[in-house]
Amino acid sequence: MKFEMPASIPMSLQSGPFRVADALAAGLSERWLRGPGLSVPTRGVRSWSVPETLLDRARSFATGVVGDFAFSHITAAQLLGIPLSYSVEDDPRLHIIRPTTANRVRRDGVAGHRGLELREVVMVHGLPVVAAPDTWVDLGELVGPLKPVGLDDLVVAGDVIVNRLGSRRPLKAALERRCRPRGKVTLSHALIWVRVGSRSPMETRTRLMLVRAGLPEPGLNQHVISRDGLWLAWSDFVWKRKRVVGEFNGREFHSGAEQEAYDEARRLGLVDDDWIVIVVVRDDVFESAARDAKLREFAVALGVDPSGLDLIGAAPQFLAPRQFAPPRRPRAA
């Protein structure tokens, strides 16, 4: 049977996904709505094309929802731009939360949750999304021996959120509002390590490596000023009293002849002013031999006895111990 376009389609149905009920009310036929020219992203919704991006899929789903809801958990983190581990990023489902008194959403491609009334909701791209502090607490549900989120993942996410908000207090408040949330032990431990100042996930992971090993806690992303009062650089990790700076060099930002020339000129400017510059790359964090060598290099530069480093504790961590204590007081730099 030949597929034919209706003679007239209301403008309200032409700009994006639309409800089947609205199309029928506008006089379009059920046969046309079942035809091959339309995509069916979710029950009761039609789209002019197959939604491919997360935002398109979320908008299509939101078109057909009845009642209060918000995007939550992994979907909220993705819409808010909160970095997640690769295993979590691969989750194709939309995570939807509704009030406790409502039924969970049960549809293909959807993970339903309840408890909307306990969470703050913000609008992102015109969609209701659980706010970042509450989303951070929700990620604690994904922590466990066989689950995709670990302790350091929560610290990375927490750093991104507190950089936007300027304080750890919103994370602490969101955690305290919940009554025994899943993952509370790991969330509480992660909050101890969250800091304002890291600009990337790998900067956070590098800081964790350094401080867990027993090195002094650095200043994060600070200006470096020469003895003559001139600006020299903006550095990832700064120990001003020891005149030591650390830099994480990711391939995506520090490759290419022009960038390499800039980095070298910057390094020489620091060295000429008697600063020690130590560069960290990804393998220095995740590969044990490279990590041990890099930590010893930092220890020597900072005047710390390398034999006293906690090389095992400096490794990336997944779960917090069931009974934990706050981290040792950072050494004075």
pLDDT in tens, the chain (333 residues): 444 566 567 776 777 788 778 778 777 777 777 777 788 777 878 888 888 899 999 998 888 888 899 999 999 999 999 999 887 877 889 999 999 999 888 888 899 999 999 999 999 999 999 999 999 999 999 988 778 889 999 999 999 999 999 999 999 999 999 988 888 999 999 999 999 999 999 999 999 999 999 999 999 999 999 999 999 999 999 999 999 999 999 865 555 677 778 888 889 999 999 999 999 999 999 999 999 999 999 999 999 999 999 999 999 998 766 544 455 555 555
CB atoms within 10 A of CB 141: 15
Q: 146: Cβ–Cβ under 8 A, 6 or more apart, which residues?
A: none
Report if pTM > 0.85: yes
- Alpha helices in 100-150, H assignment, sequence order: 132-139
Eight-class DSSP state of 329: P
Q: Which two tokens stand for residue 189?
A: 């431990």
Residue 300 near residue 134 (C-beta atoms within 8 A): no
> For residue 12, what are the β-bridge partners?
none
**Cα-Cα-Cα-Cα dihedral sign, residues 198, 203, 204, 207:** negative
Strands 45-46 and 110-114: unpaired
Q: What is the 3-state secondary structure (H, E, C) of 54-123?
A: HHHHHHHHHHHCCCCCEECHHHHHHHHCCCCCHHHHCCCCEEEEECCCCCCCCCCCEEEEECHHHCCEEE
CA dist 2 and 303 (Å) reads 80
CA torsion angle for 229, 234, 238, 244 (degrees, to 10)? -70
- Angle, nearest 10°, between helix axes 132-139 and 151-165? 170
> Helix, strand, coil shares of the chain as percentages rounded to 5?
40, 15, 45
Amino acid identity at 141: E
